[in-house]
Amino acid sequence: MIGKVLNSIIGRDSFVLAFGFVALLILAAYTIAKLIKQQKMGSAFAIILALVAAFVAGKITGGTKGMADFPVFAGFLILGGSALRDYTIVSTAYGVKMENLKKAGLAGTIALFVGVFFSFIVGTLIARILGFTDPKEITTIGAGAVTFIVGPVTGDALGVSSEVIALSVAAGVVKSVLTMIITPLIAKKIKLDNPTTAMVYGGMIGTTSGVAGGLAATDIKLVPYGAMTATFYTGLGTLLCPSIGYLIVNLIF
Amino acid sequence: MQIYGLGIVAACYFAGNFIGRILGQLIGIGGNVGGVGLAMLALVIVGAKMQKKGGFSEKTEKGILFLSSIYIPVVVAMAAKQNVVAAIDGGAVAFLAGGVATIGAMALVPLLSKIGSKSESLEKVKGE
């Protein structure tokens, strides 16, 4: 009987359960942070813990949604889904000053173009060095290094095999996960402590989930600035990679 | 009331995503181009307009701040549902392409941050 009752709660109310689980996870992360006297790293630890949990879960279930592949944790799909992520990101813009945005507008816009092209070029070069010769496949992997959405969109447009598309998604996921982990660690070195740098950072890295996680772990005050530019990055990437990007790759390789 | 705060953010969210999707259609790539950024811009403008009239009521403001306060938990939940196995099993191509692009881009951030803030950095030089 108890099993049946538990099952019905899990099935229906996993969204509510997700709040409880996230609270526990954050409690654990902040406890660790306190123990090693790194209180400021609490959010960073919470994100890293969540990523480790997602990895372990993925290994156990063989699924693609991390912890959410366990029915008990299915609520993570809603709580951590793009709708709530974007809704809460928008709210962080409250209190942002227009003048700060204007001051960083030019640098942020340039960073967007440099960021998309830089990631694309790095991705294509590595694909070429590691033995890919088909320009369409090279372009797709390069696009994956932009974001894990640009990769498959480009691959679909160029008609490459699903294995190459999967690789491009993996490249984008590596970028996103790595960004969440290393941003708080290198924040000081790249002077990521002011609105302008945050906007440039959002434009250079661009992967929305990575930037969202990385800045949250660094300093929540920076989130609106980085998110503001990052949100244009995937759109710009899907515009440039299958068109100009493919033309350039086709000319060179 | 607090719900007004949630409603204002929701209105900005829809306005921004609406324009973002129209933009996506217009340039022919579909999807949502900068919708969230435009929504944030809308909230900044609404906030500034209200500030001139004395600002939102304390309770309305609390609604907006409530959303900001669950931002980190939402991001933690987002991290917990990532396909981390795919990232690690993607092999050398995925790891190097994604990794070098990320680290390289981060290294370029200080360089690009100098654009448009010349006077500021000049003052710093003088100060030092």
Q: Do B71 and A213 touch (CB under 8 A)?
A: no
ipTM value of the model?
0.85
Predicted model pTM? 0.82
Shortest distance between the Cα of A2 and any Cα of chain B, in A, equals 28
The DSSP string of chain B is -HHHHHHHHHHHHHHHHHHHHHHHHHTT--S-SSHHHHHHHHHHHHHHHHHHTT---HHHHHHHHHHHHTHHHHHHHHHHTS-HHHHHHTHHHHHHHHHHHHHHHHHHHHHHHTTT-HHHHHHHHHH-
Q: Do B39 and A86 touch (CB under 8 A)?
A: yes
Residue A2 confidence (pLDDT):
80
Q: Which residues of B touch A176 (CB under 8 A)?
A: 82, 87
Of B40, B98, B109, the CB nearest to A90: B40
Q: Residues A25, A98: one domain?
A: no
**Per-residue confidence band for B117, with pLDDT thresholds at 50, 70 and 90:** low
Q: Residues A112, A214: one domain?
A: yes
- Pick A147 or B120 by higher pLDDT: A147
Residue B118 confidence (pLDDT):
47
Residue B125 confidence (pLDDT):
41
Please give the share of chain A, as a percent, with pLDDT higher than 90. Answer: 62
Residues in chain B: 128
Query: Which of A47, A65, A82 lies at the terminal end of a domain, its last residue?
Result: A82
Residue B127 confidence (pLDDT):
39
Q: Do B102 and A174 touch (CB under 8 A)?
A: yes
Q: Residues A225, A146: one domain?
A: yes
Mean pLDDT of B73-100: 89
Of A123, A177, A213, the CB nearest to B84: A177
Q: Residues A34, A140: one domain?
A: no
Query: Which of A59, A82, A105 lies at the terminal end of a domain, its last residue?
Result: A82
Shortest distance between the Cα of A4 and any Cα of chain B, in A, equals 26
Residue B116 confidence (pLDDT):
62
Residue B122 confidence (pLDDT):
40
Class of residue B21 by CB neighbours under 10 A (exposed 0-12, middle 13-18, buried 19+)? middle
Of A87, A118, A166, the CB nearest to B9: A87
Q: Do A182 and B108 touch (CB under 8 A)?
A: no
**A50-103 tens-digit pLDDT:** 989 999 999 999 999 999 999 889 999 999 998 998 999 899 889 888 888 888
Q: Residues A61, A99: one domain?
A: no
Q: Residues A27, A147: one domain?
A: no
Is the pLDDT score of B123 beyond 60? no
Mean pLDDT of B58-83: 92
| Mean pLDDT score across all residues of chain B | 85
A120 contacts A143 by C-beta, under 8 angstroms = yes
Query: How many CB atoms lie under 10 A from the CB of residue A87?
Result: 21
**Per-residue confidence band for B119, with pLDDT thresholds at 50, 70 and 90:** very low
Q: Residues A121, A206: one domain?
A: yes
Q: Residues A115, A132: one domain?
A: yes
Q: Residues A95, A133: one domain?
A: yes
Mean pLDDT of B90-112: 92
Residue B99 confidence (pLDDT):
94
Question: Among B122, B106, B105, B104, which Cα is nearest to B114's?
Answer: B122
Is the pLDDT score of B38 beyond 70? yes
Is the pLDDT score of B32 beyond 90? no
Shortest distance between the Cα of A117 and any Cα of chain B, in A, equals 10
Residue range(s) defining the domain that contains residue A41? 2-82
Q: Which of residues 140-159 of A touch B (CB under 8 A)?
A: 141-142, 144-146, 149, 153
Q: Residues A78, A105: one domain?
A: no
Query: Which of A40, A55, A82 lies at the terminal end of a domain, its last residue?
Result: A82
Q: Residues A148, A78: one domain?
A: no
Q: Residues A162, A190: one domain?
A: yes
Residue A124 exposure: Cα atoms within 13 Å on the Cβ side: 25
Distance from C-alpha of B124 to C-alpha of A182, rounded to nearest angstrom: 28
Q: Which residues of chain A have pLDDT under 50?
A: none
Q: Which residues of B touch A224 (CB under 8 A)?
A: 40
Residue A142 confidence (pLDDT):
96
- How many structural domains are present in chain A? 2
Of B44, B81, B105, the CB nearest to A205: B105
